[in-house]
Amino acid sequence: MKNSILILLFIVVTLISGCSEKKAEKSSEYPMFWTWLDYRPGMNFDSVCAVMKETGLDGVMLNAPTPDDYRKAVPVAHKYGIEVYAWLWTMNLEHDRDKIVREHPEWLSVNRKGESLADTKAYVDYYKFMCPALPEVREHIKDKVKAYCEVEGLNGIAIDYHRFVDVILPTTLWSRYGIVQDKEYPEFDYGYHPEMIRIFKDKYGYDPREQEDPSADEKWLQFRCDQITEVANEIAEVVHSYGKVMAASPFPTPAMSRKMVRQDWGKWNLDIVFPMVYHNFYTGDVSFISDCTIENVRDKNPMTALYCGMTGSNSELMFECMDAALNNGAEGISIFTVNSLQSPEIRQRFKTYADSARTSRAEIRPESAVTVTKSVNKNPFDNHGIMKGVDLHILASLSRAKAASIPELRETDFAVIESLSRGALQGNSGEEYLNRLNNSPRRNKDLQPVAKALADQFSRDNSQGSLDLSDYKLIDEYGYTKHYQVTEQNSKVVFDVIFYFYGGIISGWSAEPEKGSYETYRKSLI
């Protein structure tokens, strides 16, 4: 247990965030450790709350289909001392999705190509975002929020999907959809509903679609962000009128979310913010949590208590992630989800950690605070965790080429070998890669020999520490992208290593073999 973080935690928070004594007292009233959780009618919610209590969680953002479901759930959670916020999707339709699409297709968002989500798909079927400029959409959302606010005992409202469609997905998701989003592409660039265009044109005197590159138009970007902000603050007025807490789960930082989903959440009138700082979606390194939290302390609404949302892990990594957030200004934690903490040992350790953090928060007083200044290191080559991940991807690429050359795999389509390897290559750890290789093909016996061969070959190569890399050369730089090349000198394979800086911080990277040199290397192994 790293108790040092608990000593520093609220000293850092108080002055970095510029909170007054009054604000510090208010934030201390909020639960400190949370989880997001889906509620299903008929589930044994009492036992779920018992697990949350056992784990040390004192707040839950609960997604339930109807207000009546909350009327059943809230008393159960309160019995265990757990506060409940209604976790509600806003701009993206949820429980009433089919009904709204059928009855009001004109409410749906439109992309730069003129395609409406009423009859086209962006990434996944459940992406049915509405246009924030339409008064009827705003009223629909506020009426929905009112219905949940009327639930007696509900502590707050936590809004989610309050944005546009992702014009840029986190880098680790690109392979899932077979895309590369090194810049903004028209099919993923939403906000072009006729009413949006009309209001913008009335205000600025031109149609953004007539620009040579609408993605470079700062006025058009900010206009869409402001539409989302207006709706968020209208929701906040409703929530506060009922005496409840207003919260949100936005993208990792205001600067990132502004570019990636048109979500300028530093301007929202929130009591608490739970930015979804899912490091495994972006750089794969815990430093992403530190970087985002440092940025968020600076850029959030000064009246908003800053928490940090992160993916749960049934391992030491969970505590490293929480340290990274709490050491850099977060006032609390939310995990997605409590179900990730599977072992009784991890849950007990989490509770010990949480209890200690709450004790520290109660003991720290504003007058004892000291000024601490932190900044983000934006040079990826100085980041050991990220460069370790780059080396892992380079080694794994070379290793799977070797595995494909062994006699028992020569008849296996290389596309199959590559797909299995890439699917397991998540995160920046060789141990994680091997674990996923060993576990991924359990339901497909035909793939088990392939996975074993990949794991065995990688283990041999990794133990030898066989990479010999040249100096990195900057090949191209555009937008938020820096493209380097590096040569692995034993194999002569050239690798394209690309870093992405959405929001001004290292927000993603990729390391892929250049096709020609990689094919030459593969042939040399046969």
Residues 517 and 503: their CA atoms lie apart, in Å, by 34
Q: Give the model's confidence band at 348: pLDDT under 50 very low, under 70 low, under 90 confident, else very high.
A: very high
Pairing, β 83-89 against β 156-160 = parallel
User: Would you list the domain boundaries of the chain?
Assistant: 3-368, 380-525
**CB-neighbour burial class of residue 74 (10 A; exposed 0-12, middle 13-18, buried 19+):** buried
Amino acid at 351: K
Report which DSSP code applies to 131. Answer: P
pLDDT score, position 365? 54
pLDDT score, position 5? 44
Beta bridge partners of 111: 190
Pairing, β 333-336 against β 473-478 = unpaired
Question: What pLDDT, in 10s, does the model give residues 436-480?
Answer: 999 878 878 889 999 999 999 999 999 998 799 999 999 999 989
Q: Tell me which of 137 and 377 has the higher pLDDT.
A: 137
Give percent of the chain with pLDDT exceeding 90.
84
Q: Which CATH architecture has domain 3-368?
A: Alpha-Beta Barrel (3.20)
Pull the structure tokens for residue 54.
Answer: 């056992």
Residues 146 and 237: their CA atoms lie apart, in Å, by 11
pLDDT score, position 28? 54
Pull the structure tokens for residue 214.
Answer: 């609408």
Cβ–Cβ under 8 Å, residues 59 and 89: no
pLDDT score, position 253? 98
Half-sphere exposure of 20 (CA within 13 A, CB side): 4
Q: Is 434 left (phi over 0), alpha (psi -120 to 50) or beta?
A: alpha
Question: What pLDDT, in 10s, does the model give residues 222-243?
Answer: 999 999 999 999 999 999 999 9
Biggest distance spanned by C-alpha atoms of the chain? 72
Residues 332 and 10: their CA atoms lie apart, in Å, by 10
Residues 331 and 27: their CA atoms lie apart, in Å, by 8
pLDDT score, position 373? 58
Quote the mean pLDDT of the chain: 92
| Residue 22 scores a pLDDT above 60 | no
Residue identified by tokens 């028992």 is: 408
| Residue 412 scores a pLDDT above 50 | yes
Beta strands in 249-332 (DSSP E): 272-273, 305-306, 308-311
Pairing, β 83-89 against β 59-63 = parallel
**141-146: long-range pairs with CB below 8 Å, 24+:** 141/90, 141/91, 141/231, 141/235, 142/234, 142/235, 142/238, 144/88, 145/88, 145/90, 145/235, 145/238, 145/239, 146/238, 146/242
Task: Spell out the residues 6+ positions from residue 252 whose beta carbon is closer than 8 angstroms to its own.
Answer: 275, 276, 277, 278, 282, 288, 292, 296, 503, 507
Cβ–Cβ under 8 Å, residues 421 and 454: yes
Cis before residue 55, ω within 30 degrees of 0? no
Rg of the chain over Cα atoms, rounded to whole angstroms, equals 24
Question: What pLDDT, in 10s, does the model give residues 284-334?
Answer: 999 999 999 999 999 999 999 999 999 999 999 999 999 999 999 999 999
Element (H, E) at 357: helix 344-363
Pairing, β 156-160 against β 308-311 = unpaired
| Residue 23 scores a pLDDT above 70 | no
